[in-house]
Structure 1
Amino acid sequence: MIVSTTPTLEGRPIRAYHGIVAGETIVGANVVRDFFASITDVIGGRAGAYEEVLGRARREALAEMADRAQDMGANAVVGVDLSYEAVGQTGSMLMVTATGTAVTV
């Protein structure tokens, strides 16, 4: 499965459009991880625990989107966009959404 943020794939003409596909993942923040991330924010540096969770959520959203495209008979997804949003009453959860157009090249 080819997944691209571009609207076309160079040298691979689009033969059929199958429609919009999306994949969503919601991850919760851990209280202990929040505590250590706040310390990192104060003393500087990167919040590795958050980066790891964010990376996993992004990969899961992209994989879900690709699976849905394959179910539609597509072999590629073009025009992919990633969106991140805090959700929940206190914003303690993060939703990652991947959307694109399922195509056959």
Structure 2
Amino acid sequence: MIVTTTNSIEGVEIKGYKGIVFGEVVAGVDFIKDFKASFTNILGGRSKSYENELIQARQEALEELEQRAAALGASAVVGVKVDYETVGNGGSNMMMIIASGTAVDI
């Protein structure tokens, strides 16, 4: 399945629109990763534990997006956008990743 951020696919005609599809993932960071990241916060630098968590969550959201598009009979998803939001109470380290796009038949 083709998944692209553009609204069209070069050289390919979109034959039909199936609808808007989403892939959502809420990812939490455990205490140990949070503790390690706090040192990075103080000393500066990149937090690999948080980065890896985000990479994994984004991949899962895009996979879910593809599955939902396939369930509609689509062969591609165009106009894909990925958003990140912090969720939870009291500053909890939870991130919501939402991938959205238009499922199409090509």
Bin the TM-score by the shorter chain. Answer: over 0.9
Output the aligned Cα RMSD: 0.8
Quote the residue 1:98 is aligned against.
99
Quote the residue 2:62 is aligned against.
62
Distance of 2:61 and 2:29 partners within structure 1:
17
Gaps of 5+ in 1: none
**Cα deviation 1:34-89 (Å, max 9, x = unaligned):** 11111112212210000000000000000001000000000100000101011111
Quote the residue 2:86 is aligned against.
86
User: Offset at 1:92?
Assistant: 2.1
Q: Secondary structure at the match of 2:65?
A: helix
Quote the residue 2:6 is aligned against.
6
Within 5 Å, which residues of 2 pair with 1:6-85? 6-85=6-85
Q: Secondary structure at the match of 2:7?
A: coil
Gaps of 5+ in 2: none
Aligned length: 105
TM-score normalised by L of structure 1: 0.96
Runs of 4+ in structure 1 off by over 6 angstroms are none
Distance of 2:12 and 2:43 partners within structure 1:
49
